[in-house]
Structure 1
Amino acid sequence: MSTDTGVSLFSYDEDQGSKLIQKAREAAFVPTGNAGFVAIVTYGLYKLKSRGNTKMSIHVIHMHVVAQGFVVGAVTLGMGYSMY
Structure 2
Amino acid sequence: MRLTVRYFASLREALGPGETVELAGGTVAALRDHLIARGGRHAEALARGRAVRCAVDQTMSDESAALADGAEVAFFPPVTGG
Q: TM-score range by the shorter chain?
A: under 0.3
Q: TM-score, normalised by structure 2?
A: 0.24
Q: Going by fraction, where is helix more abundant, 1 or 2?
A: 1
Give TM-score scaled by structure 1 length. Answer: 0.24
Structure label with greater radius of gyration:
1
